Amino acid sequence: MKDAFDVTADVISLINIPAIKAMITGSITADDRGSTNLIDIVVNCFGITNGQKQKASPNVNIYAPNLSSGKKDAIKLRAVAKALILLLDSQYKNTFYVTVEDAGSLIQDADGNWFYNIPLNYNSIQTNFKNI
């Protein structure tokens, strides 16, 4: 049975590769952002069902500080988002599979900077499901 922490770890395993790390100045972390002034990727998951097919809705958020002009760094956010979506959509692994639920949306954070949110559908089929 997968829990929400497993979901986050599974999603990070899909994107924690040199090509993505080379695109960001910060880090790829679970739940909490590693910095406040770098380009970071944060994966979170607030829960997962316990059925024969477990379902979860994790999120991948790309944070980028605004440009010196005060505008959002749309070019960087777009580049990282496009690279991540390729790695996250229709990914079938041994114990789980992931699809991109929504191609994403730009959201302004409380501090005025912007992040790009990509919601996912996560599924895992339990082998020994008991609650029948």
Partner 1 sequence: MPDFVVGGIEKIEYAAASVVGVVTTWKPMPNIAVGTVLMTKNIGAKSSIKKEDGNTNYINLFQPADGDTLTIGLLEQNPLLVQELFSVEYTPATTMMEYYAEEKIARLAIRITTVPMKDGKKAIITIYNNDVQTGYANNLTADAVEQLAITANIGTYRKAGDTKDKVYTKQFVLADGTVINSTVV
Which span (45-53, 61-69, 81-89, 109-117) binds partner 1, by CB under 8 A? 45-53
Give alpha helix (H) positions in 4-131.
Answer: 4-15, 18-21, 74-88
11: β partners: none
Task: Please report how close the Cβ of residue 46 comes to partner 1 at its closest, in angstroms.
Answer: 21
Q: Of 72-80, 102-110, 111-119, 121-129, which part binds partner 1 (CB under 8 A)?
A: 121-129
Residue 79 CB burial class (10 angstroms; 0-12, 13-18, ≥19): middle
Per-residue binding string, partner 1, 51-90, x by CB under 8 A, is xxx-------------------------------------
The tokens for 45 are 């998951």
| CA quadruple 79, 81, 82, 84: dihedral sign | positive
Judged by the rule CB under 8 A, the positions of this chain that interact with partner 1 are 51-53, 97, 99, 123, 125, 127, 129-132
